[in-house]
Structure 1
Amino acid sequence: MKSFRLDELEAERAANDGAYLQFLRERNMSVGLYALDAGESDRQQPHGQDEVYFVVSGRASITVGTETTEVARGGVVYVPAGVPHKFHHISEDLRVLVVFSPPES
C-alpha cells in the first residue's frame, strides 16, 4: 500500500517551485498534484493519455475541446487523450489531483 497526505504533497510541490508534482507512477496510471494560483495562466498542452481531474480546492473554469464548465472543490472532470484543455478564470488558488492512464511519459 502507498499512502499520501495532501498537505505534505503541496509542501513538496511548492519546495520544488513547480506547478506539477507527480507522486505516484504505476504500470497503468500515474497521479500528480497540479497547482495554479488565482489569475495564473494554464500553459498545458494536450496529453497522449486519458486524464481525470479531481479538484481539491479553489475555483476556476475549464474548457475541454469546445465545452466549458466551472469547477470547485469536489469537482471531477474527465479529459480524453489528445483533446485540448485548459483551466482559466482561476478566481481562487486551484489544487487538482490528476490521474493519467496510461502513465504520463
Structure 2
Amino acid sequence: MNPPPFIFTPGTALAAIGDRTGLDRFEYVIRHGSMKAGLYAPQDRDMQGPHRQDELYAVLSGTGLFEKAGRRAPFGPGDLIFVEAGAEHRFVEFSTDFTCWALFWGPAGGEPDHQPTGS
C-alpha cells in the first residue's frame, strides 16, 4: 500500500474537479484534524456563503475583486486572503483562469483573536 501524499498540486485537484460547475468546482485534497484544504476554481459566479471555520484563500491564478462584509478589494496571484468564521464573503468580477487553495481550520465559530488590542 502506498503512503498518503504530503504534497498536493493544483493539477491533481483540477483533474478531480473535471467538468463540475458552480460551487462543485471544489476538491478537498487533505483533511487532518480540524484542518481541511482544497482547490476552488469557480466559473462565472461565486455563490458561497459564510463558513463555520476560519479560512485562508491562497490565490494561484487569475484576478478579480474579493468581497467581505460589504467591502471589496482587488486580488491576484500570490495573494493570501483571510476570512473569519461566519463572515459573508465571495469572489466577484474574477477572470476565467481564477483558481485558489482554500484552507479551513479550527472550531466551529472560529478561533479567538489573539492580537493585542489597542495597537
How does the TM-score come out when normalised to structure 2?
A: 0.77
What are structure 1's unaligned runs of at least 5 residues? Answer: none
Taking only the aligned residue pairs, the percentage that are identical comes to: 29
Q: Which residue of 2 aligns with 1:25?
A: 31
Q: Which residue of 2 aligns with 1:73?
A: 77
Of the two structures, which has the highest relative contact order with CA contacts closer than 8 Å and spacing of 6 or more? 1
SS in structure 2 of the partner of residue 7 of structure 1: helix
Shift of 1:12: 1.2
SS of aligned partner of 1:97: strand
Counterparts of 1:12 and 1:28 in 2: how far apart (Å)?
23
CA distance in 2, matches of 1:41, 1:100: 21
User: 1:94: which partner in 2?
Assistant: 98
Q: Is the 8 A contact 1:26 1:103 kept in 2?
A: no
Rounded to whole Å, the distance in 2 between the matches of 1:99 and 1:25 is 10
- One-letter code aligned to 1:41: R
Q: What residue in structure 2 maps to residue 35 of structure 1?
A: 41
Shift of 1:68: 1.2
Structure 2 counterpart SS, 1:2: coil
Provide the C-alpha distance between the structure 1 equivalents of 2:60 and 2:28, rounded to a whole number of angstroms: 15
Structural RMSD (CA): 1.8
Alpha-carbon distance between aligned partners in 2 of 1:101 and 1:85, rounded to the nearest angstrom: 17
CA distance in 1, matches of 2:47, 2:67: 13
Between the aligned partners of 1:20 and 1:8, the Cα distance in structure 2 is: 12
User: Offset of 1:103 from its aligned partner?
Assistant: 7.8
Does the 8 Å CA contact 1:61/1:89 hold for their aligned counterparts?
yes
Determine if the alignment matches structure 1 residue 9 to structure 2 residue 13. Answer: yes
Q: Which consecutive unaligned segments of at least 5 residues does structure 2 have? A: 109-119
